[in-house]
Chains A and B, each alone.
Chain A
């Protein structure tokens, strides 16, 4: 990423967020900021970067917004309202660069809540957040979600129209609405992260970018709402998962099991930060789903080798998680943890029950988990059969290659024994 793109990504959201109230709408704010960056792009190569790029951008974006408001004032004749708007936009003369930066409000939290409002469709929330809060271009978002650019552009336009027309407010929600709304914001951030993390298709670089953007959004939330455990918990969870970024994928793109990962390749800095956040997030109140998942990731992160993993603690955490998030996938993970904690047979039985219920019929991880436990019991023939079942359900080519290899190895061992 070049310096200009980095600056764009870093400053775009604050500039847009600050201008929305002044210029009376997200679309107008975004266009003004966009114009300011375009002006920079034409002027800076010859004039050189200004000493305070941010102050320069703030001033220019304000001017652009002011022009816009004045044009509208002439056009629509809603003079009084627009003149009041113009007054807040007009940059007080004689301010130092530092002062200009300091006086510009940080309203990114309002922007986050608006972009993640439940009255918007989930895909619109995701696209809007990536556009306005992460400064991704429409083309970049389209590429990340494998949709045509015009489709993505339309999605963004429609979302902004709805914000304006339906009167979606630009503010941090009232205390009574806050729990639900924070949850909506976190759901968007986590979806962006998982889209990048669990991706089975698409360019690796684009995917990693999504994880980075989710982390940035998570950091913004954590910085702006430092006292909320779920917010800190989600950031911790994402950091701990992302710390295994390089270790979890083999050279051919195939997944590497946690157990077989080179732990020296885990990102220590992310782990340290994640562990600290988990402790804080777990210190107050009953933990929610994000805190518990982060706590589970923390147990793995603390184990120096796979054999050192405290599976009993993980099983306990999954039992708590199953209470706040009673889903078959959580049940499956709990069963695996129980098996790994030493009760292999009991864990297998629990998976068997889940298997018969059929909720996870299309979920490759169930037969794969079963196969792995059967393997550990030395039941290679049954393991091979389960790996083949998983293979039929696996979506991505690298995952299929991995399962194929395991199935073949299980078959070889069973024949060797016979």
Chain B
């Protein structure tokens, strides 16, 4: 099965991070990505630019409406994601628990609907 691991963080806390902390966490992510690659379970993943860079698009009665900012204005914001291959939810949860921001944010584990 494939799972999308969505990485959520508190935006204010993320912004308050010192440069050294940020660098340390970044290094951790790089290491994790490499490990997941070598384990053969990684199918994709990226960091995302901050929510302030987001545009939300809707089509209503045929016209495109764009709004500044993310769909949901919450303190916890999506900051990145991985797509991984796992045999079951226990395995996917175990990978999620290794993501650095699992310690201060939260990881949403979403099964991916694969077309046959």
CB-based contact A167/B111 at 8 Å:
yes
For A119, list chain B residues within 8 Å (CB): 89, 93
Contact string against A for B residues 59-101, beta-carbon threshold 8 Å, 1 for contact and 0 otherwise: 0000000000000000000000000001111101100000000
Q: Would you call B1 an interface residue if the criterion is a C-beta within 8 Å of the partner chain's C-beta atoms?
A: yes
CB-based contact A165/B90 at 8 Å:
no
Closest to B111 in A: A166
In the bound complex, CA of A233 to CA of B93 (Å): 29
CB-based contact A165/B88 at 8 Å:
no
CB-based contact A169/B111 at 8 Å:
no
Contact string against B for A residues 165-183, beta-carbon threshold 8 Å, 1 for contact and 0 otherwise: 1111100011001000000
Contact string against B for A residues 78-122, beta-carbon threshold 8 Å, 1 for contact and 0 otherwise: 000000000000000000000000000000000000000101000
For A165, list chain B residues within 8 Å (CB): 111
For B86, list chain A residues within 8 Å (CB): 167
In the bound complex, CA of A169 to CA of B89 (Å): 7
For B109, list chain A residues within 8 Å (CB): 166
Give the size category of B's interface with A: 10 to 19
Give the size category of A's interface with B: 10 to 19
Minimum CB–CB distance for A165 against chain B, Å: 6
CB-based contact B93/A167 at 8 Å:
no
CB-based contact A177/B89 at 8 Å:
no
Closest to A119 in B: B89
**Chain B interface main SS type:** mixed
For B88, list chain A residues within 8 Å (CB): 167-169
Closest to B88 in A: A169
In the bound complex, CA of A338 to CA of B65 (Å): 69
Closest to A173 in B: B90
In the bound complex, CA of A173 to CA of B91 (Å): 11
For A174, list chain B residues within 8 Å (CB): 90
In the bound complex, CA of A165 to CA of B2 (Å): 11
Minimum CB–CB distance for A389 against chain B, Å: 40
In the bound complex, CA of A177 to CA of B1 (Å): 20
For A169, list chain B residues within 8 Å (CB): 87-90
Question: Which among A117, A166, A173, A174 has the highest number of chain B CB atoms within 10 Å?
Answer: A166
Contact string against A for B residues 1-27, beta-carbon threshold 8 Å, 1 for contact and 0 otherwise: 101000000000000000000000000
CB-based contact A166/B89 at 8 Å:
yes
For A168, list chain B residues within 8 Å (CB): 88-90
In the bound complex, CA of A270 to CA of B85 (Å): 49
Contact string against A for B residues 29-59, beta-carbon threshold 8 Å, 1 for contact and 0 otherwise: 0000000000000000000000000000000
Given contact pairs A119-B89, A165-B111, A167-B3, a sample of 16 additional A-B residue pairs in the complex whose CB atoms are under 8 Å apart: A117-B89, A119-B93, A166-B89, A166-B111, A167-B89, A167-B92, A167-B111, A168-B89, A168-B90, A169-B87, A169-B88, A169-B89, A169-B90, A173-B90, A174-B90, A177-B90
What are 5 contact pairs spanning A and B, CB under 8 A?
Answer: A119-B89, A167-B3, A167-B88, A167-B111, A169-B88
Chain A residues with CB under 8 Å of chain B are 117, 119, 165-169, 173-174, 177
Q: Which 4 A-B pairs have the closest CB atoms?
A: A169-B88, A167-B88, A167-B89, A167-B1
